[in-house]
Chains A and B, each alone.
Chain A
Amino acid sequence: MEQILATTLRSAAPLVLVATAGVFAFRAGIFHLGLEGLMIAGAFTTVAVGDATGSVELGILAAVGVCMILSALYWWVIGPLGANVIIAGLGLTSIGLGGTAFALGAIFDKRGSIFTDVVLPRPVRGITSGPGVIISELSILVWITPLIVLAAWFALRRSRFGLRLAAVGEYPFSARSVGVNPSIVRLQALLIAGALCALGGAELSVGALRNFTENMTNGRGFIAFVAVIFGAWHPIGAAFAGLFFGFADAIGIQSQINITERVPREFVLMIPFVITIFAVWLGGLWRRRSLEAEAGYAELREPDY
């Protein structure tokens, strides 16, 4: 039981961080399918820079920087240059996956994966036996994640920026009419999203593990995006959705260990995707008119490009 709980927390933390990133993008009316690419870029940069400098903090800082630069480029392409949000987002994902795999070969001269000595600090110490030992293996980012979610909720609900973001996402024209530049607000939202994706990627590579592997995100960026939809683009909702998908992942890992349970792992892994289809369908059915981001999304997503 404790095992499943700890594995859930560990699997969920990166998902929740990236889902929070997705919430910011979604609130700005951007259907951000580049989360996966940003996440893996963050995971790789943390390992690469952390390994080179020997400091995990510098690694994370560099990862945040890289992901923010990529996010700014994404904003530039879909905003001022008018590229299609979805296609460019998928392109960003491919750039991240291909770029990190390529850099792995170019910088470390390795194929597949690299190990590193840097690791995130683990605040709970001193438990060396019993079921609690797994708790002590949770990295500091796992413990901080709930605070980040609360901060995101506060920023979206209570801050000036959050209200501007809501206006831009819901009805860019009205935002423009009161002197808010929607393009700049979208840039800010994407930069925040980039930083959060970097944290999610870092937790994946040096939080739970100590390595970087090609394609190690393995669709987690998309699952996080799904959590955004499933959580009705609310940070708390998205966090719980991420937690749930982490739980499903933990069950999948457990069912792989306990061969006696004959549920094929593939079917457990399908759960998030099947649920999403239902969630998107029902969500659209119930709150068709009140889709918060629809106006901005429709504006960005023209059929004729």
Chain B
Amino acid sequence: MTGGLQRVASTAVLVVFSLLLTVLILWVSGYRVGDVFSGIIQGAVTATGASTSTIRWAIPLLLIGLGVVIGFRAGFFNIGGQGQFYMGACCALAVSLGWREGPAPLVILCGTLAAIGAGTAWSLLPGYLRVRFGTDEVLTTLMMSFIGALVLQYLTAGPMRNPSGTGQTAASERIPDSFRITDGSGVSTTVLLLVGGVAVLVWLLLERTRFGLAMTLVGRNPTMARWQGINAGRVGLATFALSGALAGLAGAVELYGPGARLVTGFSPEVGFTAVVVALVGLLTVGGTVVAAVLFGGLQSAILFLPIVTDLPPPALVLLHGMVAFLVTIKFQAVWRRTGPGAKAMAS
């Protein structure tokens, strides 16, 4: 078996195993297995509006996930997608509310650019610290993510709060309807073209350009990349910037698409799920698209159509956790255990 096929197969096995484990837990707690599966299929595909909902939830996962793929390719853990996503959405909201009377296409363009800028800035700080000082980016991106969530909380509870809002959770004012690029379903031709275009561009960048090759080299072996005349620092910075830009863009799409306003702590899991999506997609663009649709479908079935499916929402978080827990297992490590030196490898 070729290496690529083996990786696809082992990842598929692990994802299916995690799913079965979750279903087992559901079964032990009294759910019927048949109902669980038919619920997932209904909520993700067959029920009215389910397939639209699947795509709607796949879109942010795909955009942020592509950012994670770019980061991993160059050997960086950008696990702060959540904060970059929030900051993007906040800046797009600020532009749209501040310039309500502006011509819609121009405001949307400016808002989207602001979102991309905000996401970029939010990941460039950890990126700069990493490239310039060697500061560990796992912690800094995570911290920036928490800070971003608190900024969102502050904005929606304070300066941008909708004063006439009556809901329990703080939410911002709605943006004018003319600024929206989809209806409430969150899917429209514009959005699909945009996201599809971004995916193609990322694929071209990674697989067909000199820069993509440089990134992969830096990820595999920075020293070697440097010897080949690649400026590893600059590649690293660009990687972080692109990664954050995609998460910021996801924030703008969320606002101009299905959201129309921002609620404190909306989509709280999307940043982490996107990391899982990227890993399940084996850090390839095509794989990430497939994984994003898969996880978008699960999210749609469990979180957003619970009436159809009758499944408990926390089960989804549990499932994501299981997939993340298991997906990076190296099957080779399991097979090789019997050979000489197996202990040394394992520890």
Residues of A within 8 A of B (CB): 31, 33, 37, 74, 77, 79-84, 86-88, 90-102, 104-106, 172, 176, 181-183, 186, 214, 219, 222, 226, 229, 264, 266-267, 269-270, 273-274, 276-277, 280-281, 284-285, 288, 303-305
- B347 touching A98, Cβ below 8 Å: no
Chain A residues near B330 (CB-CB < 8 A): 81-83, 305
Binds A, one of B140-148, B177-185, B189-197, B246-254: B140-148
Q: Which residues does chain B contribute within 8 Å of A74, judged by CB atoms? A: 325
- B329 touching A102, Cβ below 8 Å: no
Name 4 extra pairs, CB < 8 A, besides A95-B321, A305-B330.
Answer: A77-B326, A82-B345, A96-B321, A97-B321
B321 touches A176 (CB 8 A): no
CA distance A270 to B153 in the complex (A): 11
What sequence of 0s and 1s flags, for each residue 61-102 of chain B, a beta carbon within 8 Å of any chain A beta carbon?
A: 000000000000001010100000000000000000000000
Interface string of B310-347 (1 = CB under 8 A from A): 00111111111111111111101110010000011111
* One of B38-46, B108-116, B128-136, B284-292 at the interface: B128-136
Complex contact B140–A95 (CB within 8 A)? no
Complex partner residue of A90 from B79, B126, B139, B318, CB under 8 angstroms:
B79
Q: Judging by beta carbons under 8 Å apart, are B326 and A266 in contact?
A: no
Query: Is B151 close to A, CB under 8 A?
Result: yes
A80 surroundings in chain B (CB, below 8 A): 333-334, 337, 346
Asked whether B158 is an interface residue with its Cβ less than 8 Å from the other chain, the reply is yes
In the assembled complex, 11 residue pairs joining A and B whose CB atoms fall closer than 8 Å, in A order, are A37-B321, A81-B329, A83-B328, A84-B328, A91-B327, A94-B318, A229-B139, A266-B150, A267-B154, A280-B135, A285-B133
Q: Which residues of chain B have C-beta atoms less than 8 A from A31's C-beta?
A: 138
B206 to chain A, nearest CB (A): 16
Given contacts A83-B330, A305-B328, contact A284 B134 (CB under 8 A): yes
Nearest 4 CB-CB pairings of A with B:
A98-B317, A94-B321, A91-B324, A91-B325
B321 touches A106 (CB 8 A): no
Once A77-B326, A102-B315, A273-B146 are accepted as A-B contacts, the answer to whether A82 and B321 lie under 8 Å apart by CB is: no
- How far, in Å, is A296 (CB) from chain B's closest CB? 10
Complex contact A91–B321 (CB within 8 A): yes
| Chief secondary structure at chain B's binding surface | helix
Q: Does B275 contact A (CB under 8 A)?
A: yes
Given A281-B135, A284-B134, decide whether A266 and B329 contact each other with a Cβ distance below 8 A.
Answer: no
B322, B323, B325, B344 — most chain A CB neighbours (10 Å): B325
- Cα of A176 to Cα of B318 in the assembled complex, Å: 36
How many whole Å from A222's CB to the nearest CB in chain B? 7
Please report the C-alpha to C-alpha distance between residue A104 and residue B29 in the assembled complex, in whole angstroms.
11
B346 touches A82 (CB 8 A): yes
Chain A hits for B158, CB < 8 A: 264
Q: Among the listed B140, B220, B314, B321, which residue makes an inter-chain contact with A303, where contact means beta carbons less than 8 Å apart?
A: B220
What DSSP secondary structure best describes chain A's contact surface?
helix
Contact B154 A266 (CB under 8 A): yes
Cα distance A129–B133 in the bound complex, in angstroms: 54
Whole-angstrom distance from the CB of A221 to the nearest CB of chain B?
12
Whether A304 contacts B220 by the Cβ 8 Å rule is yes
Give chain A nearest CB distance to B281 CB in angstroms.
14
| In contact, A98 and B325 (Cβ under 8 angstroms) | no
A81-B321 contact, Cβ under 8 Å, with A87-B328, A101-B314, A102-B315 = no
What separation, in Å, do the CA atoms of A83 and B332 have in the docked complex? 11
Report yes or no: B146 in contact with A219, Cβ–Cβ below 8 A.
yes
How many residues belonging to B are interface residues under a CB distance threshold of 8 Å? 61
Q: Is B30 an interface residue (CB 8 A)?
A: yes
Contact (A273, B315) CB under 8 Å given A91-B325, A176-B344: no
Complex contacts, B20 vs chain A, CB 8 Å: none
Contact status B136-A284, CB under 8 Å: yes
Q: Which residues of chain A come closer than 8 Å to B314, judged between CB atoms?
A: 97-102, 104-105, 214
- Chain B residues within an 8 Å CB radius of A100: 314
Please report the C-alpha to C-alpha distance between residue A100 and residue B138 in the assembled complex, in whole angstroms. 26
Nearest chain A CB to B150 CB, angstrom units? 4
A242 to chain B, nearest CB (A): 16
When distances are taken between beta carbons in the complex, the residues of chain A under 8 Å from B142 are 33, 222
Partner of A277, one of B140, B275, B322: B140
Q: Contacts A274-B147, A280-B135; is A83 near B320 (CB within 8 Å)?
A: no
**When chains A and B are docked, how far (Å) is the Cα of A93 from the Cα of B318?**
9
Q: Which residues of B contact A285 (CB under 8 A)?
A: 133, 135
Known contacts A94-B272, A274-B147, A281-B129: A83-B325 contact under CB 8 Å: yes
| Complex Cα gap A101–B344 (Å) | 39
Q: How far is the CB of B263 from chain A (nearest CB, A)?
A: 15
Q: Which residues of A contact B344 (CB under 8 A)?
A: 176
Say whether B138 contacts A102, CB under 8 Å: no
**Complex: chain A residue closest to B30, CB-CB:** A106
Q: Within 8 Å CB of A86, what residues of B?
A: 77, 79, 138
Cα A34 to Cα B160 in complex, Å, equals 34
Residue in chain B with minimal CB distance to A267: B154
Q: Within 8 Å of chain A (Cβ to Cβ): is B293?
A: no
Q: How many Å lie between the Cα of A303 and that of B333 in the bound state?
A: 16
Contacts of A304 in B (CB 8 A): 219-220
Is B279 an interface position by the 8 A CB rule?
Answer: yes
A36 to chain B, nearest CB (A): 11
Q: Is the CB of A82 within 8 A of B315?
A: no
A94 and B317 contact, CB distance less than 8 A? yes
